[in-house]
Amino acid sequence: MNDRISNVWFGSALAVTAFGAGYIAGQFDQLRKKYASTLIQSFQKSTIESIIRPNILTLTPYRCARDDYNQGILLDANENSLGPPLSSSEIDLLNEQLERYPCPYQLELKQAIANFRNENADFGRFIAPENVFLGVGSDEAIDLLIRICCTPGQDEILITPATYGMYSVCAHIHDVKIVSVPLKLDTPAVNPNGLNNNLLMPSFHLDVAKILSTLSERTKLIFLCSPGNPTANLLEWKHIEAILDAPNFNGLVVVDEAYIDFSVDTRSLCTLVNKYERLVVLQTFSKGFGLAGIRVGCAFASTNLIQILNNVKAPYNISKLSAKVASKALENKTEFRRKIQLILGERQRVIENLRGLSFVKTIFRSDANFVLFRVPSAFKVYKRMADKGVVIRYRGNQHLLSDCLRATIGTFEENNIMLEKLIQVSKELAI
């Protein structure tokens, strides 16, 4: 009996101790957020404030249960303390308290991301966890940026086709006007008898002069994709910098770097966000890290803007399991780099094989994990390839991409089958 009482007393003492630790952690977090909020308010009419919608600046963020306490006997969030209908061994394998909400801030993951990008910060500048926003893929960040900056029915975004489709989709959803300034293309070199191995592959570039002349006071966001999707090549930093330095534009320049890890120049622009207050850089775990299934993306920006994004986001947008997998991936940098090199080697091999096919009229430069190329009757080729079990992407309906196909670089075996079926289809269609 005395042992039982002692056990109860000891357990209660532990709980109270944990509760105290949780209280202290909660108070510290409140001070941190209060300081961040005060910092924003101190920049009266700052560059960031002038871009954000007034109702967003005055928004009182939703306070979730973990804002105040994250340890102790947690009976504040209506969680099911008995846990999920999984066996003990299954729960132990996951090693997570899945009955509890995840941390809304994910500071450890943000620190790991900042450390990873700072390793290659050749620009001489570095980022901190406070410069990192985490979203459900980079698409959440795209959506939030439009929501916080653009007044429906009044403001506009600028895109540079051919480009990623979600910029336009999110703008349409929020009744925001879309202004397009197409990319410029090097004169494509065409060889009807098969591409010469020494033939330069054309690249896409920003039309900076046209962009600057198209801007208006209602342009709040410029979305740039680098490396491009579906265009594949890296944009030149001097062109992006010219837009950032333009005296007639006070909005945000958003550079989407989803494919940056496949570029020869893997230096991310994210380490420049503390130098350029209006620069936002997007990244994702879906491409280089091969984790499309966990839906984790990042936005890098000034601390002021990151705080506003955190105020607007859903309270628990990143699950415990997603955060854990992302953190583990960041720990294994050697394996990450090994797989990137395998993909780059396969990309070069696929390009060399495409060069030798007479029906492949143009191959575009690639800094991504895919190759964009032009063939006659591209839509028919795409459909026939799918019928044979190989699904590539038809991009011929986009600006400058008539008769273009986009093929992701897969495994050695997958790439061989893709090339084999492509040759078969070319013969069947007599192209």
**Domain-wise residue ranges, the chain:** 2-42+65-94, 107-331, 335-429
d(CA 398, CA 163): 8
pLDDT for the residue 349: 97
d(CA 258, CA 285): 8
State whether residue 242 is helix, strand or coil: helix
Quick one: which of 341, 335, 358, 343 has its CA closest to 407? 343
pLDDT for the residue 10: 38
pLDDT for the residue 265: 82
d(CA 89, CA 107): 28
pLDDT for the residue 86: 64
Q: Per residue in 366-376, pLDDT tens?
A: 999 999 999 99
Residue 132 is classified by DSSP as: E
d(CA 212, CA 224): 14
Quick one: which of 64, 66, 72 has its CA closest to 16? 72
List own/partner pairs for 128-131 with CB under 8 A and 24 or more apart.
128/303, 130/36, 130/303, 130/306, 131/270, 131/273, 131/274, 131/300, 131/301, 131/302, 131/303, 131/306
Phi, psi of 97 (to 5 degrees): -85, 85
d(CA 21, CA 6): 22
State whether residue 409 is helix, strand or coil: coil
Percent over 70 (pLDDT), the chain? 81
What CATH class is the domain 107-331?
alpha beta
Which residues in the chain land under pLDDT 70?
1-46, 65-66, 74-77, 79-84, 86, 89-94, 122-123, 188-199
Residue type at position 5: I
Quick one: which of 212, 156, 210 has its CA closest to 183? 210
pLDDT for the residue 191: 61
d(CA 199, CA 183): 22
d(CA 196, CA 360): 11
pLDDT for the residue 42: 42
Quick one: which of 252, 256, 205, 253 has its CA closest to 229? 256
What CATH class is the domain 335-429?
alpha beta
pLDDT for the residue 194: 59
pLDDT for the residue 368: 97
Phi, psi of 107 (to 5 degrees): -65, -35
Place of tokens 């992006």: 240
Q: Which residues pair with 157 in a beta bridge?
A: 178, 221
